[in-house]
Amino acid sequence: MIIVCPHCSKRHKVNLDSVRPEILSGQNVKAKCRACGNRFSFPADRLKNVYTPSPQSPHVDPVQKDKKSVRKICVTLSKGGVGKTTTSVNLAAGLALAGNKVLLVDTDTQGQSSYMLGKTKDTGLKEFLTGEMPLEECIQEARANLFLLSGGRSLAGFNKIISQKNFGGEWVLSEAMVPVENLYDYIIFDTAPGWNQLIVNVLFYAEQVLIPVELEFMALQGLSEFMKTLNSIRKYHREVSLKYIVPTFLDKRTKGSGIFLSQLEKLYPEHICTPIRYCQFLSETTSGGKTIFEYAPGSTGSADYRELVKEVAGPD
């Protein structure tokens, strides 16, 4: 079959047997133009209509064929203090408690996800991306079914390496994750405040975006600015889209909290999740090395994050 590069119109002949798994699973096929270097995706359903397996093609187990693909979720917002790490850790932990195999990837130079889970390791995301250490040396099991690829200060230097690439810097993470993603049901990315090349990499790899939004004016403004950036990235990576907005620090004792929640519900009615109420135990877990389900299982924070887990684990 012939596929045409949307950037330079170069025609490429493709052996469809080489992308058989993507065609059968319905995943978009990612390609790179040999002429101009442009990376683009091609809808698998268009290939499926013309694909006839060759006689020597290996048999595909029907059970494996129908297996649901990994869910790749980026938890992000450029504004700090909105609950990104708290949400990433407790969402990942809750999904793991529900029996899913989860990988939590900490892309923050502060490595807060590791601290919240009470885990420290000399190797992590940076060593994995650079190939300095094998995968099994970089990933650690933080809880039953919950695995961690930790961040840390070494990621600051890696951001510089990505930014110095002449081409393809935004795909470094995507290429590295290929052998990893089929090992998990969910891959959750905790991102840093602000904006850097590693966050761009995460958005070029993830398919669903979850945004924690503190119920105050600056966070809502930050959400508006982020949506402009996300729309720009979707021009090159159509698979990524906003899926969940999680209102955080809901305090029913204050009038402003309810007002901002109403604004969010009007602007993004199809994306709003159950709000996370203000809970002092959530603040205490950030340095306690425990998830909210372990530290205060009977608290409102635990109840709210259990609801979030149900919403994310439901039909996507």
Task: State how far the Cα of 30 lies from the Cα of 44, in Å rounded to an integer.
Answer: 10
Write the single-letter amino acid at 313: A
Pick the CATH number of 71-313 from 3.80.10.10, 3.20.20.70, 3.40.50.300, 3.30.420.40: 3.40.50.300
Neighbours of 27 (CB within 10 A): 16
Task: State how far the Cα of 168 lies from the Cα of 175, in Å rounded to an integer.
Answer: 10
Query: What was the pLDDT predicted at 26?
Result: 62
- Domain limits of the chain? 2-65, 71-313
Query: What was the pLDDT predicted at 292?
Result: 97
Q: What's the number of CA atoms in the CB half-sphere (13 Å) around residue 87?
A: 35
Query: What was the pLDDT predicted at 51?
Result: 52
Contact in structure between 95 and 102 (CB atoms under 8 Å) = yes
Which distant-in-sequence residues (6+ apart) come within 8 Å of 290 by Cβ?
Answer: 118
Query: What was the pLDDT predicted at 29?
Result: 72
Contact in structure between 299 and 292 (CB atoms under 8 Å) = yes
SS3 of the chain? CEEECCCCCCEEECCHHHHHHHHHHCCCEEEECCCCCCEEEECHHHHHCCCCCCCCCCCCCHHHHCCCCCEEEEECCCCCCCCHHHHHHHHHHHHHHCCCCEEEEECCCCCHHHHHCCCCCCCCHHHHHHCCCCHHHHEEEEECCEEEECCCCHHHHHHHHHHCCCCCHHHHHHHHHHHHHCCCCEEEEECCCCCCHHHHHHHHHCCEEEEEEECCHHHHHHHHHHHHHHHHHCCCCCCCEEEEEEEECECCCCHHHHHHHHHHHHHCCCCECCCCECCHHHHHHCCCCCCHHHHCCCCHHHHHHHHHHHHHHCCC
Structure tokens at 218: 């600056």
Contact in structure between 147 and 141 (CB atoms under 8 Å) = yes
Query: What was the pLDDT predicted at 307?
Result: 97
Query: What was the pLDDT predicted at 253?
Result: 87
Query: What was the pLDDT predicted at 18?
Result: 59
In tens digits, the chain (316 residues) has pLDDT values of 667 777 777 766 666 655 665 566 566 777 777 677 777 776 666 655 555 554 433 333 333 334 458 999 999 998 888 999 999 999 999 999 999 999 999 999 888 999 999 998 888 999 999 888 888 899 999 999 999 999 988 888 777 777 777 667 888 999 999 989 889 999 999 999 888 889 999 999 999 999 999 998 888 888 999 999 999 999 999 999 999 999 999 998 888 899 999 999 999 999 999 999 999 999 998 877 999 999 999 999 999 999 999 999 986 5
Query: What was the pLDDT predicted at 217?
Result: 87
Query: What was the pLDDT predicted at 266?
Result: 93
Query: What was the pLDDT predicted at 63?
Result: 37
Contact in structure between 206 and 230 (CB atoms under 8 Å) = no
pTM to 2 decimal places: 0.78
Write the single-letter amino acid at 290: K
Structure tokens at 286: 């950030």
